[in-house]
Amino acid sequence: MPEQDSTPVPPAASPETTSQETAGVPSSSGPRVSRRGLLTTASLVGAGAIGAAASYAVTRPSGADAQPAATAVVPFHGEHQAGIVTPVQDRLHIAAFDVTATSRDDVIGLLKDWTSAAEAMAAGREAGEGGAVGGDYEAPPSDTGEAMGLSASNLTITFGFGRSFFVTDDGAPRFGLSGRLPEALIELPHFPGDQLEPQRTGGDLVIQACADDPQVAVHAIRNLSRIAFGRARLRWSQLGFGRTSSTSTSQQTPRNLFGFKDGTANLKAEEPDQLSEHVWVAPGGKPGEQWMAGGSYLVARRIRMHIEVWDRTSLGEQEAVIGRTKSTGAPLSGGQEFTEPNFEAKGRGDAPLIAMDSHVRLAHAATNKGVKMLRRGFNFTDGNDSLGRLDAGLFFIAFVRDPRTQFVPMQNRLASSDRLSVEYLKHTGSGLFAVPPGIKPGEYVGQGLFA
Amino acid sequence: MPASPRRAFSSLAALAVVAPLALTACTDNAKPAAGATDGPISVSSTDKECTLSAVTAKSGHLTFDVKNDGQQVTEFYLLAEDGLRIVGEVENIGPGLSRKLVVTAPEGKYLTACKPGMQGEGIRAAFTVEASGTTASVDSDTKALLDTATKQYVSYVKDQTEQLLTGTKAFAAAYASGDAAKARSLYASVRMHWERIEPVAESFGDLDPSLDLREADLEKGQQWTGWHKAEKDLFPPKGYTALTAAERQKLSQKLVADTQTLFERTRTLTLTPDKLGNGAKELLDEVATGKVTGEEEIWSHTDLWDFQANVDGARIAYQNLRPVVALKKPELAKTLDQRFAALQTELDKYKVGDGFKYYIELTPDQVKQLAALVDALGEPLGQLTAAVVL
């Protein structure tokens, strides 16, 4: 720092108060004034404190004593569980559990405890009696406390049951649930290119927590997994940031880690007929499956992206692989983002403008017998692998009425023919869960299953 | 990643669509010409009109921002004064979409043309490039060099498929006759001929899955044939049930028949420079996603043979293109030379006789070092196509 060396700053100029100015530092340095102002304040309050206060004010408008803003609460009760068609939040923490409890009563007890904690947290309250600081001084607090002072942040908590919840590996019923396994809750087949890691796959139960604040989502999963100790054990969990689809027309289409808009053609909350057709399980099914009416099936796939390879790919090829422009998301057949792709449009040499092996063509309802899904995926980055490449991608979540006719055929098609999937993606985790319908106050999640 | 089989789907048809986009969308060496127009020239192509924001520009790199304001698919061309020679073109612009065309144009008279509907002569108008003082680096030799490059690479592909066919026959004979030791000794080295020309071989979408599909990439109910099925049988994992003599016979026959088909198809192969460039890049992607992770040869662990062959194929493509790269982007050529050499030096460390160490004999640090060199090479290699076709 030659400048300081040549400047007669007293050695004891501990906090950089006004010493530089008084020491005759040339006044030509423009930013000095504001910097001094900041430093002065900092020296009064303490730099750490002001930093924290500033970010607090910006990102967390409801202070410690403030009531959660009513606008940031998504109702927990209803015909369907929240977290499906409710507008997608920005953050995800999803977790799958293996049930270690062996009795039906213990499982029901767990679901009841989860329900009441979820009700509280979704409303922006603390989990458990006494919460984080109001309980017995000699006992550990019942809420872990890291969400104190935060708003509900539109937290939604969505519960689901995996196939292994109903039957053991030998096909014997668990928890007296004989005849209750829905036929649609299949064992997902092996898809081409699957490189599933057992520790990221399967699970008896799943909890999807979404919020606008990551701390709120993590807080929810943390408290629920704590409640489960002794009855269920965490099997895998995943953090996600940056939603990669919209479930409402009020939301902009976000971008995935490939930099492309994702979920342009997604089903939206404003399309109730479409939701009935593609997302909600209809009433009037088999007697043992009635409990699923109004529910849905959650498909979870951890999709690792070969980010580095993608980044070496020319823009032209990136667009050809996706079938849309990177800028506006318009299909290559022309128009704007929401213009329907024209798969018939031909370009030079009669080659289709939207390539036969492009993602938009192969994922489109027109290629999939009209089948659609409600997508709710999130970007993820879990550090890097041992080769120094980002372990990043898309945590794909979709809700469907029947995975056998919706997800499975589409995934088979994409995994074998979609250039995007074939060359740039690798599926490392997987799960399929039956998501029961919503509940009324006083009920517990999945009550219909045990009725 | 199940590298090779999954590549199959970059069919020639798809490449044909991609190529023009790649050609025009990459702007890395597009330094907008400071000149008469001082920046990009906007072109609006409607169904009836072709409107340019300027009809003169200064020599050097010119950028045309072409917007399709019409209802039909359109194209835009910059033509030489004779109206025949194409200086630059951008195809397949859907209605409402925009595309960039970057060309290097010396002083002279030109024609511009929008071609709504992609039919006929298009809507033409005069365009003038004035001297800017700097000489544009369009070299009339470039085309000749590119022609030579593609010709050489086509010859290389033909030679490799010929050797592949011969080798496959020998392998299949040994394998079918139950001489497992001989088949094992041939397995990796014969496959190198395949791996060297993978992007071309894979452009025949039907042959690639049939010859090179990995078990992990099978769809439920899909029949498994090809090299990796034999691999599993020759390097069996625990609990594996060996194929019967009849099954081996059948597998061998199909292997030879498919290779024969590949051989025949490559006799009439034509390639364009962008396919060489993209092919080189794809080969490195293969290494990056499949080989360097040890996923390709899951039973034989001969990934380093494939690794070397992919690098060979990429290097040959690059070297054929190198005279053009050296002319247009000497810095890129220098970088690529160095990085190919660095990767090869590292690979050489694992050579054992005519072959290599098995992949499982490498330490994590060694794999990491290889991966780093692959990435280091892959990054500039991604610039190759744009460098040679712009």
For A278-305, the pLDDT digits (tens) are: 999 999 889 999 999 999 999 999 999 9
DSSP reduced 3-state for B163: helix
Residues of B (123-182) whose Cβ lies below 8 Å from A: none
Q: Using the beta-carbon criterion (under 8 Å), do A320 and B17 form an inter-chain contact? A: yes
Distance CA A158, CA A450 (A): 18
Whole-number average pLDDT of chain A: 85
**Percentage of chain B modeled with pLDDT above 90:** 61
Report the Cα B237 to chain-centroid distance in Å: 34
The nearest CA of chain B is from the CA of A52 a distance in Å of 39
Interface test with A, best of B24, B73, B89, B367 (most A CBs within 10 A): B73
Task: Among A332, A348, A419, select the one facing B94 at the smallest CB separation.
Answer: A332
Task: Among B7, B10, B96, select the one facing A334 at the smallest CB separation.
Answer: B96
- pLDDT category at B135 given cuts 50, 70, 90 is low
Element containing residue A299 per DSSP (H, E): strand A296-305
For residue B4, the model assigns a pLDDT of 39
Q: Report the chain A residue with the minimal C-alpha distance to residue B22.
A: A316
Q: Using the beta-carbon criterion (under 8 Å), do B11 and A356 form an inter-chain contact? A: yes
Q: Chain A contacts of B67, Cβ < 8 Å? A: none
The DSSP code sequence of B306-358 is: HHHHHHHHHHHHHHHHHHHHHHH-HHHHHHHHHHHHHHHHHHHTTEETTEE--
Q: Using the beta-carbon criterion (under 8 Å), do B219 and A348 form an inter-chain contact? A: no
pLDDT in tens, B164-205: 999 999 999 999 999 999 999 999 999 999 999 988 887 776
Whether residue A118 has pLDDT greater than 50: yes
Whether chain A has a CB inside 8 Å of the CB on B69: the answer is no
Whether residue B123 has pLDDT greater than 90: yes
Which residue from A143, A106, A115 is spatially nearest to A127, judged by alpha carbons? A143
Mean pLDDT across A347-373: 92
Interface test with B, best of A339, A413, A423, A425 (most B CBs within 10 A): A423
Torsions phi, psi of A391, nearest 5? -90, 80
Element containing residue A412 per DSSP (H, E): helix A407-417
Distance CA B24, CA B1 (A): 30
Torsions phi, psi of A42, nearest 5? -60, -40
Whether residue B9 has pLDDT greater than 60: no
Distance CA B81, CA B110 (A): 4
Task: Among B20, B94, B278, select the one facing A348 at the smallest CB separation.
Answer: B20
For residue B137, the model assigns a pLDDT of 52
Q: Is the ipTM of this complex over 0.95?
A: no
Q: Chain B contacts of A306, Cβ < 8 Å? A: 1, 285, 288-289
Q: Report the chain B residue with the minimal C-alpha distance to residue A358.
A: B14
- pLDDT category at B95 given cuts 50, 70, 90 is very high
Whether residue A16 has pLDDT greater than 80: no
Whole-number average pLDDT of chain B: 86
For residue B140, the model assigns a pLDDT of 62
For residue B134, the model assigns a pLDDT of 60
For residue B88, the model assigns a pLDDT of 83
Whether residue A69 has pLDDT greater than 60: no
Q: Which residues, other chains included, contact B289 with Cβ-Cβ below 8 Å and sequence gap of 6+?
A: A306, A309, A423, A426, B1, B3
Residues of A (330-389) whose Cβ lies below 8 Å from B: 330-336, 339, 345-349, 351-353, 355-357, 386-389
Element containing residue A47 per DSSP (H, E): helix A47-59
DSSP reduced 3-state for A224: helix
- pLDDT category at A66 given cuts 50, 70, 90 is very low
Mean pLDDT across A324-339: 95
Q: Using the beta-carbon criterion (under 8 Å), do A388 and B371 form an inter-chain contact? A: yes
Q: Using the beta-carbon criterion (under 8 Å), do A417 and B20 form an inter-chain contact? A: no
pLDDT in tens, B239-256: 999 999 999 999 999 999
- Assess contact for B127 and B111: CB atoms under 8 A: yes
Q: Per mean pLDDT, which range of A82-86, A419-423, B10-14 is the poorest?
A: B10-14
For residue B144, the model assigns a pLDDT of 84
DSSP reduced 3-state for B374: helix
**Percentage of chain A modeled with pLDDT above 70:** 84
Q: Per mean pLDDT, which range of B6-20, B123-137, B164-178 is the poorest?
A: B6-20
For residue A247, the model assigns a pLDDT of 83
What is the token pair recorded at A443?
């009920």
For residue A35, the model assigns a pLDDT of 34
Q: Using the beta-carbon criterion (under 8 Å), do B26 and A314 form an inter-chain contact? A: yes
Q: Using the beta-carbon criterion (under 8 Å), do B9 and A419 form an inter-chain contact? A: yes
- Of residues B133 and A46, the one with the higher pLDDT is B133
For residue A284, the model assigns a pLDDT of 86
Cα–Cα distances in Å, from A424 out to A305, A427, B2, B283, B383?
A: 6, 10, 11, 14, 18
Residues of A (177-236) whose Cβ lies below 8 Å from B: 189-195
For residue B198, the model assigns a pLDDT of 87
Q: Using the beta-carbon criterion (under 8 Å), do B288 and A308 form an inter-chain contact? A: yes
For residue A262, the model assigns a pLDDT of 87
- pLDDT category at A13 given cuts 50, 70, 90 is very low
Task: State the pairing for strand pair A390-400/A374-375.
Answer: antiparallel
- Assess contact for A121 and A237: CB atoms under 8 A: no
What is the token pair recorded at A182?
């829905």
Whether chain A has a CB inside 8 Å of the CB on B47: the answer is no
For residue B390, the model assigns a pLDDT of 65
CB pairs under 8 A between A and B: 164
Mean pLDDT across A309-326: 94
- Assess contact for A193 and A147: CB atoms under 8 A: no
Q: Using the beta-carbon criterion (under 8 Å), do B14 and A356 form an inter-chain contact? A: yes
Whether chain B has a CB inside 8 Å of the CB on A412: the answer is yes
- Of residues A262 and B17, the one with the higher pLDDT is A262
Mean pLDDT across A374-402: 95
- Assess contact for A34 and A43: CB atoms under 8 A: no
- pLDDT category at B30 given cuts 50, 70, 90 is very low
DSSP reduced 3-state for B53: coil
Residues of B (200-219) whose Cβ lies below 8 Å from A: 216-219
Q: Report the chain A residue with the minimal C-alpha distance to residue B21.
A: A316
Q: Using the beta-carbon criterion (under 8 Å), do B289 and A306 form an inter-chain contact? A: yes
The nearest CA of chain B is from the CA of A20 a distance in Å of 45
Whether chain A has a CB inside 8 Å of the CB on B95: the answer is yes
Q: For residue A255, what is the DSSP state? A: B
CA angle B18, A333, A265 (to 5 degrees): 105
Q: Chain A contacts of B68, Cβ < 8 Å? A: 334
Residues of B (219-278) whose Cβ lies below 8 Å from A: 219-220, 278
Whether chain B has a CB inside 8 Å of the CB on A308: the answer is yes
- pLDDT category at B35 given cuts 50, 70, 90 is very low
For residue A71, the model assigns a pLDDT of 63
